Amino acid sequence: MLALTVLPRFVAGGLMFHQLDCLALLASLVALTLMVGGRSLAVAAAPAVGFLIFMVPLPYELERNVGGPLKVVATQASTYLLQTAGLPAVAEGNLILIDEVRLGVVDACSGLKMLMTFAAFAVGAVLLLERTRFEKLMILLGIVPIAVAVNVARITATGVAHTLTADKATLNFTHDLHGWLMMPAGLGLLALQLWALSRLVEPAAPKSDAPAFAALQFS
């Protein structure tokens, strides 16, 4: 077990392979829990150790293959919202044209980092909250739609700001502000989802430890 955790770290250090280095650290934590507390401690600590997978940076190929489609979705959806708001927005590739405004949806605007951050919050909620399996599944399935919706709202708000003012300092401030508001908005939608699920799904009946025959009434 020690060789399986130490050797990958040496390989990762030599090749500058950060993902392998992080995975080796997780394997080291698993080995440490097994050494200190045996299998029972490893099983109890498994959710906490597994949650640390979110600290592993995404490989470049995955970022490119996933981030590209996310940029297309963000561009098209934001253009539609801007058109719905009455603005003459047109999408050209990853550019949104609004009269003389050229709003570029670059890699940082794909929403991939927001998706991963929000996924960590959602998985944390699944691990900590006492909900039915169906509710937890719905929370996990809602990660991508909520992250995409928040990112589209941010790009749309940025596009509206560009039509209202040309002051660079103001635009930089609103751009950063909309970025900071993404996570509170995502968590707000998560809270709304949890509230809706609590209204739609009956809580699971508590398991009784009493034997079945204890409920029988004898006269």
In whole angstroms, what is the distance from residue 78 CA to residue 172 CA? 19
pLDDT score recorded for residue 14: 56
Q: Where are the domains of the chain?
A: 1-57, 65-200
**CB burial readout 125-149, b (16+ within 10 A) else e:** bbeeeebeeebbebbeebbeebbbb
Residue 86 has pLDDT above 50, yes or no: yes
Give CA separation, 77 vs 36, 50, 96, 152, in Å.
51, 34, 11, 7
At 86, phi and psi to the nearest 5?
95, 10
In whole angstroms, what is the distance from residue 44 CA to residue 194 CA? 26
- Give residue 39's pLDDT band: very low, low, confident or very high (50, 70, 90): confident
Could you read off the pLDDT of 151-201 as tens digits, one per residue?
999 999 998 988 888 888 988 898 888 888 888 999 999 999 999 998 888
pTM of this structure: 0.76
> Residue type at 102?
R
